[in-house]
């Protein structure tokens, strides 16, 4: 059964109105990861990776959200709110999203990344021996 925007939003607690996310350049240097470490050192922030894209996530409730999680300015809401696709929102699916909230999670991500790279380099050197 395909969900409609109206039915989806009526069952949601306004998840999309309780944070905003800004896309980041994909980190490639130690300094980039140090910047991410600085971002997540602040309260109510995290970084998430979705389909290879990196985002700074800031948990901050919209000032137009009412106590019952409805938009006070719905008919005049900002354009970005109008473009949101309720059928693709996090209410339905967070599969494939990796959120990094702490320095420990960032360190674990970097360790996994390093191990994968070492594995690829080892595989490349093994293949070159066969040639």
Length of the chain, in residues? 131
18: number of CA atoms within 13 Å, CB side?
Answer: 13
Q: Which residue's entry shows tokens 């990094």?
A: 100
- pLDDT at position 93 is 65
Extract the tokens encoding 11: 């069952």
pLDDT confidence band for 8 (50 / 70 / 90): low
**Sequence spans of domains, the chain:** 13-102
Specify whether the CB–CB gap between 55 and 25 falls below 8 A: no
pLDDT confidence band for 77 (50 / 70 / 90): very high
Q: What is the pTM of this model?
A: 0.77
pLDDT in tens, 25-71: 999 999 999 999 999 999 999 999 999 999 999 999 999 999 999 99
Strand residue runs (E) in the chain: 19-24, 45-50, 53-59, 97-100
């Amino acid at each position: 059964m395909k969900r409609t925007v109206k039915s989806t939003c009526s069952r949601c607690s306004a998840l999309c109105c309780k944070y905003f996310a800004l896309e980041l350049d994909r980190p490639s240097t130690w300094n980039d990861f140090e910047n991410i470490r600085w971002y997540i050192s602040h309260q109510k922030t995290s970084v998430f990776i979705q389909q290879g894209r990196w985002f700074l996530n800031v948990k901050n409730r919209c000032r137009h959200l009412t106590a019952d999680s409805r938009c006070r300015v719905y008919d005049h809401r900002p354009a970005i709110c109008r473009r949101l696709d309720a059928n693709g929102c996090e209410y339905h699916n967070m599969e494939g999203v990796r959120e990094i909230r702490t320095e420990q999670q960032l360190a674990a991500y970097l360790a996994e990344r390093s191990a994968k790279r070492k594995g690829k380099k080892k595989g490349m050197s093994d293949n070159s021996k066969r040639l």
